[in-house]
């Protein structure tokens, strides 16, 4: 399977090897970018919400201690 449209009559082994190499690397690059995007969107958002939630819990507990 070739990524580029190559004339088979004049194609060289190097060109075929390069196209297969690029195809495999593009699949790994796509997988890497999807993992990175998922990590960025969900992990950091979860940390941000957890930090805000824990801060609110801490503020509530400290205000409860002060009002007692």
The Cα–Cα gap between 43 and 2 comes to 37
Q: What is the pLDDT of residue 9?
A: 56
Tokens found for residue 57: 């819990």
Q: Is the pTM of this model over 0.85?
A: no
Q: Which residues of the chain have pLDDT under 50?
A: 1-2, 67-68
Q: What is the pLDDT of residue 64?
A: 53
The Cα–Cα gap between 35 and 38 comes to 5
């Amino acid at each position: 399977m070739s990524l580029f449209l190559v004339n088979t009559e004049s194609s060289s082994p190097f060109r075929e090897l390069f196209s297969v190499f690029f195809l495999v690397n593009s699949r790994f690059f796509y997988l890497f970018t999807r993992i990175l995007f998922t990590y960025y969107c969900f992990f950091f958002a979860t940390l941000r919400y957890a930090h805000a939630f824990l801060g609110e819990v801490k503020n509530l507990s400290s205000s409860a201690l002060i009002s007692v």
